[in-house]
Amino acid sequence: MLILGIETSCDETGVALLDDEQGLLAHALFSQVEVHADYGGVVPELASRDHVRKLLPLCDQVLADAGKARTDIEGIAYTAGPGLVGALMVGGSVAHALGYALDIPVLGVHHMEGHLLAPMLEDNPPAFPFVALLVSGGHTQLVRVDGIGEYEMLGESVDDAAGEAFDKAAKMLGLDYPGGPRVAALAEKGREGRYRFPRPMTDRPGLDFSFSGLKTFTLNTVNAAKDAGEFDEQVKADIALAFEAAVVDTLTIKCRRALEQTGCKRLVIAGGVSANKRLRAGLEKMTAKLGGSVFYARPEFCTDNGAMIAYAGAQRLRKGQKDGERIVSVPRWPMDTLPSVNEPRAN
């Protein structure tokens, strides 16, 4: 089954063509980072308009790259939520219009299920069951995964997401958006032990996270360095390293707890922050000690992309799940309310 995947939940337009037997045939991404750069954050209306401009050209591009015609497409998956409603509507409208014209099934996919399943696009994909750590710009969640659509929420952030914390720390260090990769690059020049940041909520039981305190700690550290006239490139790098080490340690401690609690040996990490090298290394070490292993996607499939939506949609479309005639856009949508891939669904 040839599936077109469409991602427009936030500030990247992602499109992919996936054959459910041959795998990924082509994918393309347009990032709107420059569109929003002057505003210090994503401007929803500008995001929607830019998706309108870029989506159909990207669809044509992936078809050309794969040597396929529009009429070869057998199913369409689009991100139905969570995300910015106007941005979601663009992907949903194009998906439903194309699906109607081609008379093929269309399915609205959960964006975080897309992230969660992205590691399945790699060689040596994880088998079920596993524990997943979803760490992105808007989410920090630990999930027990028994199958597609069989999700039990084990813990989540009570305030900021890990990616959001990276982005805010970056801003305080004078770095541009998206801050995660920039903080990580700066941290490579940092000196170990110069600063020590707290590991929030690791001293009590449970699998929830909190990152807003780290944000305040970063701000206080930056201000103290400024007041002391020490806020130079080396000190910025030292702060970046201390911040990154604190986030990675905190995530690692909670992942170990989740693996011990569930008895799972496999850990999957997904979402933009799962591209972080220090996090990957920390989790490799921790899972190896437990006799387990960690799985993740190639860096370009950690952040938003069309391939993960095509993959998640393909699993459900081939079981007959599809939308009714209505475009589905769900700005807030808990992932554990999704039906199992094995349940019949029409909405």
Mark the binding-site residues for substrate, compressed into ranges. 134-138, 167, 180, 276
Q: Which of Fe ion, ligand ATP, Mg ion, none binds 274 (CB below 5-8 Å, type-dependent)?
A: none
139 binds ligand ATP (CB under 6 A): yes
Applying CB under 6 A, which part among 25-33, 174-182, 251-259, 310-318 lies near ligand ATP?
174-182
- Taking the C-alpha atoms of residue 343 and residue 242, their distance in angstroms, rounded to an integer, is 46
- Taking the C-alpha atoms of residue 134 and residue 13, their distance in angstroms, rounded to an integer, is 21
Residue 278, SS3 per DSSP: helix
Residue 82, SS3 per DSSP: coil
Query: In whole angstroms, how close is the CB of 29 to ligand ATP at the nearest point?
Result: 11
Q: Looking only at residues 247 through 276 of this chain, which bind ligand ATP when binding is defined by CB under 6 A?
A: 271-273, 275-276
Q: How many residues of this chain interact with Fe ion, rule: CB under 5 A?
A: 2
Q: Under 8 Å CB-to-CB from 176, ≥6 apart: which residues?
A: 37, 170, 182
- Taking the C-alpha atoms of residue 95 and residue 105, their distance in angstroms, rounded to an integer, is 10
How wide is the angle at C-alpha 295 spanned by C-alphas 299 and 117, nearest 5°? 75
**Beta partners for residue 294, in sequence order:** 267
Question: Taking CB under 6 A as the rule, which mask of x and - marks residues 141-170 in contact with ligand ATP?
Answer: ----------------------xx-xx---
- Taking the C-alpha atoms of residue 119 and residue 121, their distance in angstroms, rounded to an integer, is 5
Q: Looking only at residues 285 through 344 of this chain, which bind ligand ATP when binding is defined by CB under 6 A?
A: 303-304
244 binds Fe ion (CB under 5 A): no
Question: Cα torsion at 178, 179, 182, 186 (round to 10°)?
Answer: 180
Task: Write out the binding residues.
Answer: 111, 115, 134-138, 167, 180, 276, 304
Q: Looking only at residues 279 through 308 of this chain, which bind Fe ion when binding is defined by CB under 5 A?
A: 304
Residues in contact with Mg ion by CB under 5 A are 10, 304
Residues in contact with ligand ATP by CB under 6 A are 10, 111, 115, 136-139, 163-164, 166-167, 178-181, 184, 271-273, 275-276, 303-304
